[in-house]
Amino acid sequence: MSFVHLFKLANESGGTLYLMLFLLLLALTVIIERSRYLANMYRVGEKAIELCRSKKVINKSTIKEFHQRHNEVPVLRLLEVAIDGEHDHLNQEELSGSLEEALMHEVPKLDRSLWLLDTVITLAPLLGLFGTIIGMFNAFSVLADIQGGITQVTGGIAEALIATASGLVIAMIGIFFFNSLNTRIREVVHQMETLKVMILNRQQLFQSVTYQA
């Protein structure tokens, strides 16, 4: 199938194939950006957990070092709350509330832009069906030509179904990565919850470290 033929099909689909190409590029952009972002979040989260598990000194200089080696990540906010001198007088329940508040502020950053991928998954098959309907109209419009009408109609139907197939392919790709990204988000949130518990279990250590900062 030549490029010229694909261009012809795109035009005959009422422009829906062009829209689906845009949706595919949009989906791939979201997938690549979120995959890299969440992979970095998970990697830094593992390092933060290892830092707490090792019971090394965690003070302002340690957090500053984290900032220099990594971009702004949600787990750093939890560590910053833990070493904040304003929280030294808090009991464990009050500190837990402060950590939970910080966690709730950071979680929405994880699934940012995923609504676009969800929209693509829903919209692509519908656009494909719409493009197929337009293609069917074009195919049946040649029935006035009695001699070659049947051949052109069957060929036109086959070409019209390309729009539906394209929409389904985009949706299948999107839903695979959508579920994969949601799984990664749950893993990162679990890391943050784990880090919160580790901070609470080491509250006295963090408070004593604060005065050394």
At 187-206, the pLDDT tens digits run 999 998 888 888 777 765 55
Q: Is 88 exposed, middle or buried (0-12, 13-18, 19+ CB in 10 A)?
A: middle
Among 109, 129, 113, CA closest to 177: 113
Q: What is the mean pLDDT of residues 9-17?
A: 65
What is the reported pLDDT for 31?
A: 96
Q: What is the mean pLDDT of residues 17-25?
A: 88
Q: What is the mean pLDDT of residues 157-182?
A: 88
Return the minimum-mean-pLDDT range out of 10-14, 150-154, 161-165. Answer: 150-154
Q: Would you say residue 159 has pLDDT above 90?
A: no
| Neighbouring C-alpha atoms within 13 Å toward the C-beta of 180 | 15
Instruction: For residues 66 and 50, give the distance between their C-alpha atoms in angstroms, rounded to a whole number.
Output: 13
What is the reported pLDDT for 213?
A: 39
Among 173, 162, 40, CA closest to 117: 173
Higher pLDDT, 108 or 145: 108
